[in-house]
Structures are given as C-alpha cells and as structure tokens.
Amino acid sequence: MTPPEAPVTDPTDRRAGSAPAVSVCPEVAMHPPLAILRQRADFLRAASARRQGTPGFLLQARPRKPEEPVAADMIRVGFTCSKKVGNAVARNRAKRRLREIARLILPQAGRPGWDYVLVGRPEATATRDFALMLDDLTRALASVHSDQPRKPRPEGEAPRGRRRGKS
C-alpha cells in the first residue's frame, strides 16, 4: 500500500496541512551559494583585510586561503552593528537591511572564495534609501575587487613626549 500523496493546492486555497507552494528559480542555481559567518575569528580576519566605506555601511572583504576548510566556490557574508547604531530594535532593523542587500547583490557581484562583512553605520544604515544602499554595495564590491594599488594611510607626525602607561 502506497502512502497518500499530499494534494497540490491553489495558492489562494491554502488550508492547514496542505502542501506548501514551491518556486523553482533556474537563475539561482547559476550563482554560488551564500553562507553566513558566525565565528569571531572569521570576523577578525575580515576586519584586517580590504575595506571600503560607503555612506550606508562599511564593507570588509578578504579572499580565503586555499587551506581553509570551506568550499572554494562559496561566498560567505557576515553582518555586524555595534551599540553605536542604536538600541536592539535599531540594530536589528539595520542588520535586516544589510542581509537583504547582500542577498540581492552578492550572488551576482561577489566572488566565490571570498568572505564579506557588512558593518552598519549609526543613523545611516537604518534610514538610507534602499536603492542607494544597493548601489553602494555594488560600487564597494567593484572597488574592493579592483587591482588598483591602494593609497597608503596617511601617517601623522610621530607622537612626542612620554608614552602613557610606560615608566
């Protein structure tokens, strides 16, 4: 005796216990899979690599080394918002917006084998126009992946006087 199959229902006629509607998008299969960064060490490695600031957020990016135990064709992304962004509600709103722009842009513009971290900015990530944030991420990725040499950070004058905390 074969088990009864779940009835296929019209999406407008959904009842409790009915089979869920399934959508198959062939263009999704062409893009590399996205994974979420969760380990602190991964965030620290990304923080010490390439970075590009935008009005809505900061993008940190790094190519993974071949010996790392992660699939080479995978794009990994992390999100962070400090307490400077606001209370928990504001931080969660900012992270939701960052997750959505990453979901829309990274599969096309990101590179497999790279880790990306999007860092929220106070009073900007949660309020900036969404279309502008999409453009910001596209431009930031192009800048991070360009092979142009980066300008060195300006070095100020050497500090004078005794160093604090040293005798």
Per-residue pLDDT of the chain (167 residues; tens, 9 = 90+): 555 565 555 555 555 555 555 444 545 456 777 899 999 999 999 999 999 999 999 999 999 998 988 888 899 999 999 999 999 999 999 999 999 999 999 999 999 999 999 999 998 999 999 999 999 999 999 999 997 766 665 666 655 666 665 55
pLDDT the model gives residue 156: 62
Q: With DSSP H G I counted as helix, E B as strand and the rest as coil, what are the percentages for the chain, rounded to 5? A: 35, 15, 50
Nearest to 145 by CA among 55, 61, 56: 61
- Assessment of whether the complete model's pTM goes beyond 0.85: no
pLDDT the model gives residue 78: 96
Q: Are 75 and 106 in contact (CB under 8 A)?
A: yes
pLDDT the model gives residue 73: 87
Q: What is the C-alpha to C-alpha distance for residues 51 and 117, in angstroms, rounded to an integer?
A: 9
Q: How does DSSP classify residue 31?
A: S
pLDDT the model gives residue 17: 57
pLDDT the model gives residue 113: 92
Q: What is the C-alpha to C-alpha distance for residues 36 and 72, in angstroms, rounded to an integer?
A: 15
pLDDT the model gives residue 68: 87
Indicate the SS3 state at residue 48: coil
